[in-house]
Structure 1
Amino acid sequence: MVSNCDVPTSKLSEFSAAISTPDYYCALTSWTAHQVGESIKRDVTARSGLGANRVKITAVEAIPFTFWHDREPLSYCLVRVATDADLTGWGEACDSFGCTYAGVIETTVDQAFAPLLIDEELDDPARLIYKLRSWTRRRLGHQWVAMHALSGIELALWDAVGKSRGESIAALLGSDAKPMPIYASSVFLEEGPPNWHIETLAPLIQAGVKAAKLRIGVDWQADLETLAAVREQLDPSVALMIDGNENFTLET
């Protein structure tokens, strides 16, 4: 098993205790992930020419905060990646409207992911994220809160890499920065009569937005009546969309 993982003889002593326990697979997997990560790092450095002027990550932190809106308080969680080149990358961990478990995200970033990135070279976000996923997959998994935290880190890494190279993230991903159409994402239809929804959307439509989205609630039959009335009153040039909001079943 050890030879299949291509572990050098000098490293066998580090795994001798782990191999004799039920957790041996974790140790070997971690070493394999390290080897793959180092291989990717060498390849990225060779292709990008970063070897002569390397930038290292010095800090990774999550910053949770709450805004008190009229309808309800919403929490958010930013992720900050700092480097020794005075470059800072910013990302956001978001699960829909803000970040539902911002404090949990903060703990996950600070305790699980940040220690794995300190002193790493800021070269390729894909390599760095691969390392984080490889070293934590058996303990955190690849979904829910872990992925929310990881998404914020990845955004911050791309932001920092883009700044270090003087390129937009779009360019780094093989595209270019260009205008994108936006739409107004509004509230549940059950929250008010048709004219109230029209008034709510009016400032955005007057600003030039050409599409709007409303949300269906549990009483979706009544919502469809409201939706029809909104469509009748809304400017015909504005596209109208609906969000089922996880309320529909196969029958409906």
Structure 2
Amino acid sequence: MTRISHITATAYSCPFDKQHQLAFGLGSNVKRDVVLVRVTSEEGLVGYGESHHGQHPTAMAEIIERGLAPLLIDCDPLDNEGIWERINRQQLVTHGLGAASMMALSGIDMALWDLKGKLLDQPIYRLLGGTRKKTRAYAGGLALGFLPPDTLQAEVADLLQQGYTAIKMRVGDTPARDAMRVGHIRQTFGDDLDIAVDAATRYSLGDIPEVIRYCEDNRVYWLEEPFTPDNLEAYAELRKRTAIPIAAGENHYGRYAFRSLFEARAISICQADLSKSGGFTELKKIADMASAFHIAMAPHTSHSVLSAAGNAHLLAAIPHGILFEADVAKVNPFRTELAQPPFGVVDGHIEPPHGPGLGIQIDETMLERYPAIAGPCYLPIERSAGPTG
């Protein structure tokens, strides 16, 4: 029986010039970070995973290598449940780093499933009990931000040409400006386009009358993260006031946080993130629990092709997955160059790779061009109450 020989994690960063910085609810993104996790077996076989950077990519890599990895050397790499519980007991439930430890574990778990698939010569979707199938994709990620209406219109037109039938617009600016941008896109492209909106936790209950009005007037597909993740009362109150589906989950960590979210009847669409919420081992539990509450799954995609491929596998293994989030940022080498051959959306749909594990070949040589830059990737922006355009 093989054993885990070593675990490494490395941060990489792609800085953006002004032209490629997106303004949205979290601020302005000045760089794209990724934390690549490698789990190596005694035979030298490598499984790859991605941990969300938590806005501190170099710190996240150190947490993985110095905090979690030493606990797992010589463990059975096929023992996903045992390894997850080992870290849970030692790092999550007491004396750990909370969300940071969960993000670190997420990347390790993803890499372990990639390694398991390679050891057993099976794709992850098959190991999870699924079959290879297509899922409709929506154009999301770091795109469609706080831009003038004509610029947004041009970007959406290009996405429709690529085959997308659903998009996600960034809101959380002011309700009036959000309404103006969303209304322009709805009026321009008609009712056949599904438009979701993401507020990045920037609304308050005082904003809700205006927010509900523009969401209902424009038949919004879902309203994502209107409030901070702890504000379950506001989520529940919002659901009472509108039939617009409410989505959240990318900033919730582990099944116990999701249990509270589901029991509060706070959301109708779950957006748990593989690189944040515990990897495949935990996400499958969260998805199964969501189904018991009749909550649909539309997992959040993080920063690289690893997260994207992982979500494609997960969606192929659950019956209630509704949409795949495709990052359509104009510049993201960790999406477009890290896997060879490239993996992504075709004709508005995603399908998991059929090779073993994640089914993608990682080209680490390209990462040499993107040394880590410490610190946050999102910086605050000043917002005025005046008109935009």
TM-score for both structures, normalised by structure 2: 0.47
Give 1:56's aligned residue.
3
Alpha-carbon distance in structure 2 between the residues aligned to 1:83 and 1:174:
24
Alpha-carbon distance in structure 1 between the residues aligned to 2:143 and 2:201:
14
What letter is aligned with 1:224? A
In the alignment, structure 1 residue 83 sits paired with structure 2 residue 41: yes
Give 1:136's aligned residue.
91
Give 1:118's aligned residue.
73
CA distance 1:200–1:99, shift in 2 (3 Å): farther
| Per-residue deviation, 1:222 | 1.9
In the alignment, structure 1 residue 73 sits paired with structure 2 residue 73: no
Structure 1: which 5+ residue stretches go unaligned? 1-53
SS at the partner of 2:136? coil
Alpha-carbon distance in structure 1 between the residues aligned to 2:131 and 2:10:
30
Structure number with bigger Rg: 1
Give 1:220's aligned residue.
175
On the 8 A contact 1:183/1:209 being kept in 2, the answer is yes
Alpha-carbon distance in structure 2 between the residues aligned to 1:247 and 1:136:
30
Alpha-carbon distance in structure 2 between the residues aligned to 1:214 and 1:133:
36
Count, aligned residues: 194
Give 1:196's aligned residue.
151
| Per-residue deviation, 1:235 | 5.3
> 1:97-156 CA deviation, whole Å, 9 max, x = no partner?
x65111111111111111111111122212111111212232215x31111111111100
Alpha-carbon distance in structure 1 between the residues aligned to 2:190 and 2:47:
41
TM-score for both structures, normalised by structure 1: 0.72
What letter is aligned with 2:3? K
| Per-residue deviation, 1:177 | 2.5
Which structure has more relative contact order (CA 8 Å, sep 6+)? It is 2
Structure 2: which 5+ residue stretches go unaligned? 22-29, 209-389
- Which structure 1 residue ranges, 4+ long, deviate > 6 Å from structure 2? none
What letter is aligned with 2:76? E
| Per-residue deviation, 1:166 | 1.0
In the alignment, structure 1 residue 180 sits paired with structure 2 residue 127: no
| Per-residue deviation, 1:233 | 1.0
SS at the partner of 2:12? strand
**Greater CA drift, 101-110 or 232-241:** 232-241
Alpha-carbon distance in structure 1 between the residues aligned to 2:55 and 2:157:
29
Alpha-carbon distance in structure 1 between the residues aligned to 2:37 and 2:80:
14
CA distance 1:85–1:203, shift in 2 (3 Å): farther
On the 8 A contact 2:78/2:112 being kept in 1, the answer is no
What letter is aligned with 1:66? S
On the 8 A contact 1:74/1:99 being kept in 2, the answer is no
Give 2:324's aligned residue.
none
SS at the partner of 1:181? strand
> 1:167-196 CA deviation, whole Å, 9 max, x = no partner?
11111112123111111116465x222221
Identity %: 26
Give 1:168's aligned residue.
123
On the 8 A contact 2:172/2:198 being kept in 1, the answer is no
RMSD (CA atoms): 1.7
Map of 1:21-32 to 2, 5 A cutoff? none
What letter is aligned with 2:95? R
Give 2:189's aligned residue.
234
Whose helix fraction is larger, Structure 1's or Structure 2's?
Answer: 1
> 1:21-67 CA deviation, whole Å, 9 max, x = no partner?
xxxxxxxxxxxxxxxxxxxxxxxxxxxxxxxxx11111101110001
On the 8 A contact 1:60/1:80 being kept in 2, the answer is yes
SS at the partner of 1:130? helix
